[in-house]
Each structure stands twice: as structure tokens, then as C-alpha cells.
Chain A
Amino acid sequence: MSTQIEQQETETEADEAESEQAVESPGDQRRAAKRQRQAERDVQREAEEASLDDEETVELKVFRYDPEVEGKQEPRFDDFTVPFHKGMTVLDALIYARDRYDSSLTFRHSCRQAVCGSDALFVNGRQRLGCKTQLSDLDDPIRIEPLPHQEVVKDLVVDMEHFYDQMEAVEPYFDADELPEDSLEEQRQTRENREKVKMSTRCIWCGACMSSCNIAAGDNEYLGPAAINKAYRFAMDEREGENRKQERLRIIEQEHGVWRCQTQFSCTEVCPKDIPLTEHIQELKREAVKNNLKFW
């Protein structure tokens, strides 16, 4: 940390070098060396940037916005030219631009392997995960925006609170009617039933589906594809039992539930985990109808 004044720093350095008999250089030398190193880096970077002319590059047009920084309060697009290599993803390109050109470029990302669901973005007009979208599959220049229909916090970061609220509204947790008494005995589940819920359990909460859905855009209370899929995951799991299933159907049948879906398939098209969201919603509609007939 650079919280201390330089005088102290130099003294401590010297003390340390003496007491540890280490080959530490005194502060002045160190700083000179550091300046030189920095200069070398600058030269290297200039060389790298100059060589961009010779190699293949891609153009990024990236949405920028920051509510509190002058010049960024009005949304704008910044252009970045990044070197292209085979296998490079949208996320790789963003990281390159951030680390080399502008450290304030802001986006969520973590696992780099399409499982944390942090980096759903609007790339060339479509919801995609940055980490699993190859640059080679996109037309240049590549336009990168935050997910539509969500409030932008900054640059490519959107507010996910509403999405999380909708997920939690469907009571997204396993809640069996009864469990084996023995704490070492598992519930049985057929392979077929596991297969039935398998795709629905793959959801990574990225929000791409919700952002692509016209209905969700117009009806803020609509549960949305991800949350309904979550309800499907439990309603179809034979381990939970009939009582719980009834409760789950009641939740998804509400005014802003499954009946809002107009089967446009946009959610299914953008889902990075290939979950057949629209099918799941339709199946729940059928379950709900069957269920209502039963009590009629």
C-alpha cells in the first residue's frame, strides 16, 4: 500500500536489508530500477500497440455509463481495438481492453467457463454469455451492451435484484412432503425422473432469458422464464410429493405466472445452457389445466 511517506519507507527498507542480510537495494536504487522497469514496459506496450497494425484485430464498440463520473453520465460507446487470436472470446477481448487500455471498463465475470452466469451481455443485438461466445462467430465491429430491460448500474453491469426477486418468488427450494427417517437413507428417484428434470437444473441464473422476453419487458411482475423453469424443476421432481406440487402449481398459475407466456421462444433461443424454457412453461400450463380439471 502507498499509505506511508517515503522517508519511512526508505528507512525500513534499509533496516530490513541489514537485519535479514538480504540483497535489497536501497530505496533510491529501487525506485530508479522501478522507473526503468516502467519505461521498459511502456516501450514494450508501445511496440505491442504498434504491431497491432500488422496483426489481425477486432473492433469492439462498448457501452459506457457511470452515474457519477463526468463524461460518462450520458451513455456512450467507446471503441477498442484488440488483437485477435483463434479461440478468443468476447470476455477475453473485454479483459484485454480493460487491462491494457482502460481499467475503469466494468463488467461482471468470474469462472470463465459458462457456469457462474455472471457475464450475460447483449452482443451484436443478442443475449449471450461473454465467456462462451467466440469472436470468430461475430460480425465486426462487435457491439457490446448491458442486458436490455434491466437498469444499468455502470458500463456493462446491470442491476440483478429484480431477477433474483422473481427467482425467489417461486419458493426455489426442495421441500419434500416427507423424508426417510434414517439420516443415512436416500430418497429414491428413477433415472427417468432425474432425466426429466435434468435440463431444468442446469440454470445458471444469468438472466439472459428474462432480458430477451418481451412479456417480462412489459410486465414487471411477470415471473419470467428462469423462475418458472425453477418451479418446473421442483414441480416435476417426484421426490417432493403431491402436496408440494399442488402448492407449486398455485404459485405459477397466478396472474403474472405461466399464462403470460406467449410462446415466442426468445428465452429458449438465448439460453446458454440450452434449457427448453418455453417447453417447460407450456408443460406447466398443461399441468395446471389438468390439475384444475381434477378439482372441478
Chain B
Amino acid sequence: MYEHDVIVVGAGGAGLRAAIAADEEGADVALVTKLHPVRSHTGAAEGGINASLRDGDSWDLHAYDTMKGSDYLGDAPAIDTFAKTAPEEVIQLEHWGMPFSREDDGRVSQRPFGGMSFPRTTYAGAETGHHLLHTMYEQAVKRGIEVYDEWYVTNLAVTDHDDPEDRKCHGCVAYDIKSGKIEGFRATGGVVLATGGLGQAFDHTTNAVANTGDGCAMAYRAGVPMEDMEMIQFHPTTLPSTGVLISEGVRGEGGILYNDDEERFMFEYGYANNDGELASRDVVSRAELTEVNEGRGIEDEYVDLDMRHLGEERILDRLENILHLAEDFEGVDGLDEPMPVKPGQHYAMGGVETDENGETCIEGLYAAGETACVSLHGANRLGGNALPELLVFGARAGYHAAGKDMKTAEIETGPSAKSEDGDVQPPVAPGAVDTGSEDVAADGAAIEPTGVIENAVERERDRVETLLEEDGVNHAEVRADVQETMTQNVNVFREEEGLKTALRDLRRAREAYEDVAVSDPSRTYNTDLIHTIETRNILDVAEAITLGALAREEFRGAHWRAEHQERKDDEWIKHTMLAWNDGTPELYYKPVILEGDEETYEPKERSY
């Protein structure tokens, strides 16, 4: 058994920031990642990092934009903390050597981004995430932070109490991909989940193959509620053939969207009369798909994003990476022709319920970054707000897990924060196929840390043995079925029947997964095994997304429902919460906090 004060699972932006914070606090911290840190998908982020740095801007404007962008589903304590802390985090990154793009006076450049009332998006070309990831990994190296790379965390070691709020997380179980060893990791201070996104629940996504919702699924099964899972962002500019992202920076710099009739449809058809292409992402994604659905799409599939008028010099200076992406992955020269784009799954606003200190309702278990839902982004994340979130809440989770004295959180977590029971009626029972064999609390009343971890290790060893020894279905078939139904039915436009179809399909996929087996018998670098375990996680998060989507009978932010075409503030300013409940998921609601430090946010119509 390995032992550290703080274990951080995942070594992208949030994980690295958490580890550095814990290290600063004097804790012995280790990063455990199924990749190597520099392979993390933070590196694919392109556009930038929002922070109020200049005269004329202020944290409360940033907070206001974020709350408006969230369509009033963000929690004010999270948003205020975020907007206040983002500037020092960005400058901290600069002090760590981040190669930001610069102004003539040598200061960090900022550009306009969708939904922002001030050009406050700092950036490093159109490869901001790459630089952020490498800069922070370098700082982790400098501090000698221990990294277990290519170790896949498959389960959490959590005590066996009936009430999740009584449970305590003592560590986790990880599988050494290279050797096939399964080992326990004890964390005396805390485990921080920073496993990134869950885009692999969909088949057209900007996410990496590794983004399989591992942290969400593990926390969910351990008893932490999932929050607002239906809130999935579809990015309006992804390349049609691969889902590769074309940064919002292109529109930030002045890129224009055209339909097949060469109309600038954002204005022509009134989708966003003020901000046009720079409206919030959900608005632009719906506009594009509406164009396609009404027959004005190009090849009935996509629209064009044109940046040629910006001129070669400006493009090379600020968006060079976009030229490479369009050329390599779509065969298009962005200097010569418009780039084809369509919406693709991009980001999960929802996730593991945490408070402002990154803590979940289970003592010693934290989450940060895309894995977490604090809730900062509410129903829609603004471009350039994900990277500062990693920094702000990654750091807070790391500090808190390392024992730093932090302000008591205002956001309540756990089932005790419930304000109302849910009333969703799925067409088939969701949750575990066999509730008797569920992961968390099945082994008697283990409370003592090493016992909890040893039990968890044994369970994982059994699981892996069984997967390796039996014959059965290849997980890839199950995964493909999940991705297909999610993209078909739980996309930008959602209808009740489609959501129910998705739940039926997911149930079938869960049942098929019961017979899944790994045909590669090797203990050495068995990616078949890793992917098979990931597919279980994909199933759990896909179902949670769909249940939330079926429950929320309104149109808010990224969540559009055919039968419910308006935002219903009287009824729906509340978070959809989903508790795993040892295999029989239970939906309930928790209030949104609109009372901020300076003001109480009044829900207004969200127009751009």
C-alpha cells in the first residue's frame, strides 16, 4: 500500500494546481494519472483564461457575466470566489513562466470572448491550454511532486456507513497499466478527483479518448450526488469529421459564421442581434443546428466559419494553431477558404457536487475542474472560464485537503441539502443491473482506514480477474451503442421521447455490459482492460445526464427541451441532484444560491 497525505487523481490543469497547492501547504502529495501529466486534455484547450486585470474591468463584472452566462443556475458563492481569485491565479501562472501573448508594452494580452462584457480573456496564441498544462507540470517537477503516471484509479476506498454524509474517504485503488499490479493508495488528508470531462459518452466530441468521466462515476457510486448532469455544453465550432475544436478565439478575433446561402445568419435570422457570432455558446450552437434543420446548412450538416478577412498576419500571430488543425484534420486552408464547423459535445457543466473548498459530502473526498460542479457554470459555461476554474478551485481543493484553514463554505452538500424530492419517471429502472453487488458498501462495516482500503483492493482484484478470465462481449460494442444513442437523443435539441429512448438504450447497454469480458489475457499494458473499466464509467455518467435531462422540464442555458420552450424561474431555479443510493438512483433538488457578496443576482432575460 502506498501512502501520502494527499492523493490527486488526474494530472491535468486542476490536478496539477491542486497538487502544487497541497505541496505549498507542506503536504506530501502524489499525482496518480492514467496518462502522463503532459498528455492530459487540458492541453487541448485553445482560447484562453478569463480574469479581470485591467482598468475598466472588475471582479464583479466578471462575476455578473458568469452568472448571466450560467442562466442563473450558478451559485453566487462559487461565482464570487472564482471571479475574485482568477486575477491572482492568472498572474501566478505568468510568474511560473506561462508564455502568454503580449501587448506592445510587454503586458499580457486580453481578447474579447463570448458572453464577456469586457475583453478579459488572456491567452497564449490559440494553444493556451497546452501552455498552461506544460507550465504547471514544469512547476510540479520543480517541486519534486511524486507522479504515478499510467496508473489508472479504478475505485475509491470509502467507509461503509449507510448515510453518505457519514462516510469517509481513506484513499483509492489504482491499477499500474504497465505491470498490471493493483495497489491501494492511502490518503491521510484527502483524495482530490481531477479526472476531467466525460465527452466519451458522446460520439461527436472535442474531448479526448481518455475523457471517460472516471472521477464522476467513482464519486457517484461512492455516494456523492451528481449535480446538474444534464447541462452539457455543445461547442458551436468543431470540425465535422473528427470533432476537433476550432477555438472561440476565431470568433473573438472577428471570425464570421455563414450558412449555405452565404448569409451571416446570427444577425440575418435574429439569433443574437447584438453580439452575433460572439453570443454565448449554447445560443450559437442552436442557431447553427436550426440553420441546418431548416435546409440552410452546407451539405445538410455544417456551416462555414470564415476568418480570411482578418488577414494572414493577424491569423498567424494569434490563431496559427487553428490553421494547423483545419489543415491536418479537415484538409482546409483557413487562409484561403472558410472552415466547416458544427456543434460538438465539449464540456460538462455538471459533475461531482462540491462546495467552494472543493469538498464533497464525503469527508476527505474532493473534486475540482470539469469533474466537479461547484456550481460555477450553471446551465452554460462561458468560453475562457474553464481554465481559471481549474486554477481557482484546483488550488482551493489542494489547500483544503492539505489542512489549510479555509473560510467555511457557504454551499451545502450531500443529501441533507435536499429541498425537494424529484419526480422524474424513467421508462425503465435506472442504476445498477444487480444492486446486490454494488461497489461501495458491500463488505461489512469496515471503518478503519487500512481495512477499507484492503477491502477495496480485493474487490478490484476480483473484478479484474473476472474480466480477464471470462469470455463475453467486447466493451467497444457497448460503448459505441451508448455514444450513438447519446448523440442521437441527448444532443443540443432534446425531446421527451428521445430521452426515454436513450434511457431504454442505456439500460440495454448496461445489461450487455454484464456480459462484457476482456479478450487480451496480458497483464502488460492491457488497454482492453482499461477501456472496459472506463466503459462502465461512461454508462453511469451517460445515464445520469439523461435522467437529469428528462427531469428538467424547461429550457435553460444549454438544456433545450422541445416540450418546454421557456425558462421557468418560479419552478426551476434549483439544481438537479442525483444520488446513486447504492444502485437505485434517486433524483432530488437543491436550491440555487443567488445571494452574492455584493449583490443578490436577479434573474434577467439572457439576450446577446
Q: Is B313 interfacial (CB-CB < 8 Å)? A: no
Please provide the chain A residues from 155 to 180 with a CB less than 8 Å away from any CB of chain B in the complex: 155, 157, 160, 164, 168, 171-176, 179-180
Place the interface of chain B in its size category: 35 or more
Are A117's CB and B477's CB within 8 A? no
Are B38's CB and A24's CB within 8 A? no
Chain B residues near A168 (CB, 8 Å)?
141
Q: Interface digits, A95-136 against B, CB 8 Å rule (1 contact, 0 not)?
A: 000110001101111111111111000000000000010000
Are B102's CB and A189's CB within 8 A? yes
Please provide the chain B residues from 56 to 105 with a CB less than 8 Å away from any CB of chain A in the complex: 87-88, 91-92, 94-97, 99-105
Contact of B102 among A23, A107, A112, A190 (CB under 8 A): A190
Q: Is A8 interfacial (CB-CB < 8 Å)? A: yes
Q: Is B599 interfacial (CB-CB < 8 Å)? A: no
Q: Is B473 interfacial (CB-CB < 8 Å)? A: yes
A9 to chain B, nearest CB (A): 5
Whether A12 touches B434, Cβ cut-off 8 Å, given contacts A2-B470, A191-B102, is yes
Whether A68 touches B476, Cβ cut-off 8 Å, given contacts A115-B127, A116-B44, is no
B203 to chain A, nearest CB (A): 13
| Residue of chain A at shortest CB distance from B34 | A110
Chain A residues near B294 (CB, 8 Å)?
none
Whether A153 touches B525, Cβ cut-off 8 Å, given contacts A2-B515, A34-B515, is yes
Q: Is A218 interfacial (CB-CB < 8 Å)? A: no
Chain B residues near A104 (CB, 8 Å)?
519-520, 522, 526, 528
Contact of A118 among B35, B102, B426 (CB under 8 A): B35
* A187 vs B130: C-alpha distance when bound (angstroms): 20
Please provide the chain B residues from 578 to 601 with a CB less than 8 Å away from any CB of chain A in the complex: 584
Q: Is B466 interfacial (CB-CB < 8 Å)? A: yes
Q: Is A13 interfacial (CB-CB < 8 Å)? A: yes
Chain B residues near A188 (CB, 8 Å)?
105-107
* A205 vs B37: C-alpha distance when bound (angstroms): 11
Q: Is A243 interfacial (CB-CB < 8 Å)? A: no
Whether A154 touches B517, Cβ cut-off 8 Å, given contacts A113-B329, A188-B105, A198-B99, is no
| Residue of chain B at shortest CB distance from A191 | B102
B352 to chain A, nearest CB (A): 22
Q: Is A38 interfacial (CB-CB < 8 Å)? A: yes
* A19 vs B466: C-alpha distance when bound (angstroms): 30
Q: Is B446 interfacial (CB-CB < 8 Å)? A: no
Are B519's CB and A34's CB within 8 A? no
Are B519's CB and A23's CB within 8 A? no
Q: Interface digits, A228-267 against B, CB 8 Å rule (1 contact, 0 not)?
A: 0000001001011000000000000000000000000000
Please provide the chain A residues from 49 to 74 with a CB less than 8 Å away from any CB of chain B in the complex: 66-69
Q: Interface digits, B167-180 against A, CB 8 Å rule (1 contact, 0 not)?
A: 00000000000100
Are A173's CB and B520's CB within 8 A? no
Are B95's CB and A176's CB within 8 A? yes
Q: Is B331 interfacial (CB-CB < 8 Å)? A: yes
Most B CB atoms within 10 A — which of A20, A41, A107?
A20
Q: Is B472 interfacial (CB-CB < 8 Å)? A: yes
Q: Is A185 interfacial (CB-CB < 8 Å)? A: yes
Q: Is A292 interfacial (CB-CB < 8 Å)? A: no
Contact of B101 among A12, A164, A176, A194 (CB under 8 A): A194
Report the stretch among B132-140, B373-381, B552-560 that lies at the interface. B132-140
Are A68's CB and B523's CB within 8 A? yes
Are B528's CB and A239's CB within 8 A? no
Are A9's CB and B434's CB within 8 A? yes
A34 to chain B, nearest CB (A): 6
Q: Is B527 interfacial (CB-CB < 8 Å)? A: yes
Please provide the chain A residues from 26 to 56 with a CB less than 8 Å away from any CB of chain B in the complex: 30, 34, 37-38, 41
Are B511's CB and A34's CB within 8 A? yes
Q: Is B407 interfacial (CB-CB < 8 Å)? A: no
Whether A173 touches B141, Cβ cut-off 8 Å, given contacts A2-B517, A115-B130, is yes
Q: Interface digits, B338-376 against A, CB 8 Å rule (1 contact, 0 not)?
A: 000000000000000000000000000000000000000
Contact of A115 among B35, B43, B105, B426 (CB under 8 A): B43
Are A110's CB and B39's CB within 8 A? yes
A113 to chain B, nearest CB (A): 5
Are A103's CB and B36's CB within 8 A? no
| Residue of chain B at shortest CB distance from A190 | B106
* A3 vs B465: C-alpha distance when bound (angstroms): 10
Q: Is A202 interfacial (CB-CB < 8 Å)? A: yes
* A103 vs B527: C-alpha distance when bound (angstroms): 8
Q: Is A16 interfacial (CB-CB < 8 Å)? A: yes
Are A12's CB and B519's CB within 8 A? no
Are B39's CB and A1's CB within 8 A? no
Q: Is the interface of A mostly helix, strand, loop or mixed?
A: loop
Are B524's CB and A67's CB within 8 A? yes
Chain A residues near B329 (CB, 8 Å)?
87, 113, 132
Chain A residues near B295 (CB, 8 Å)?
none
Are A174's CB and B520's CB within 8 A? no
Are B209's CB and A174's CB within 8 A? no
* A63 vs B511: C-alpha distance when bound (angstroms): 35
* A12 vs B433: C-alpha distance when bound (angstroms): 8
Q: Is B330 interfacial (CB-CB < 8 Å)? A: yes
Chain B residues near A271 (CB, 8 Å)?
none
A231 to chain B, nearest CB (A): 12
Q: Is A17 interfacial (CB-CB < 8 Å)? A: yes
Chain A residues near B331 (CB, 8 Å)?
87
B388 to chain A, nearest CB (A): 14
Whether A164 touches B138, Cβ cut-off 8 Å, given contacts A38-B473, A194-B99, is no
Q: Is A186 interfacial (CB-CB < 8 Å)? A: yes
Q: Is B242 interfacial (CB-CB < 8 Å)? A: yes
Are B209's CB and A154's CB within 8 A? no
| Residue of chain B at shortest CB distance from A100 | B476
Contact of A194 among B102, B209, B512 (CB under 8 A): B102
* A230 vs B144: C-alpha distance when bound (angstroms): 18
Q: Is B474 interfacial (CB-CB < 8 Å)? A: yes
* A176 vs B417: C-alpha distance when bound (angstroms): 47
* A198 vs B92: C-alpha distance when bound (angstroms): 20
Chain B residues near A183 (CB, 8 Å)?
88, 91-92
* A46 vs B515: C-alpha distance when bound (angstroms): 21
* A239 vs B135: C-alpha distance when bound (angstroms): 14
Chain B residues near A201 (CB, 8 Å)?
99, 124, 131, 134
Contact of B428 among A23, A99, A113 (CB under 8 A): A23
| Residue of chain B at shortest CB distance from A154 | B525
B498 to chain A, nearest CB (A): 17
Chain A residues near B429 (CB, 8 Å)?
16-17, 20, 22, 24
Q: Is A197 interfacial (CB-CB < 8 Å)? A: yes
Chain B residues near A194 (CB, 8 Å)?
99-102
| Residue of chain A at shortest CB distance from B96 | A174
* A179 vs B94: C-alpha distance when bound (angstroms): 10
Whether A111 touches B328, Cβ cut-off 8 Å, given contacts A30-B511, A168-B141, A174-B135, is no
Q: Is B208 interfacial (CB-CB < 8 Å)? A: yes
Are A3's CB and B463's CB within 8 A? yes
Q: Is B41 interfacial (CB-CB < 8 Å)? A: yes
Q: Is B516 interfacial (CB-CB < 8 Å)? A: yes
Q: Is B514 interfacial (CB-CB < 8 Å)? A: yes
Q: Is B244 interfacial (CB-CB < 8 Å)? A: yes
* A205 vs B511: C-alpha distance when bound (angstroms): 41
Q: Is B436 interfacial (CB-CB < 8 Å)? A: yes
Whether A175 touches B142, Cβ cut-off 8 Å, given contacts A153-B525, A187-B94, is yes
Q: Interface of A with B (CB < 8 Å)?
A: 1-4, 8-9, 12-13, 16-17, 20, 22-24, 30, 34, 37-38, 41, 66-69, 87, 98-99, 103-104, 106-118, 132, 153-155, 157, 160, 164, 168, 171-176, 179-180, 183-191, 194, 197-198, 201-205, 234, 237, 239-240
A2-B470, A98-B476 known; 7 other A-B pairs, CB under 8 Å?
A: A2-B514, A103-B519, A104-B528, A106-B528, A155-B525, A160-B36, A187-B95
What are 19 sample pairs from A and B whose C-beta atoms fall under 8 A apart?
A: A1-B463, A1-B466, A2-B517, A8-B436, A20-B429, A24-B507, A37-B508, A99-B474, A106-B528, A115-B44, A155-B525, A190-B102, A191-B104, A194-B100, A201-B124, A201-B131, A202-B127, A204-B43, A234-B97
Kindly list the 5 A-B residue pairs having the minimum CB-CB distance in the complex, ordered from nearest: A174-B97, A188-B106, A104-B520, A173-B138, A173-B142
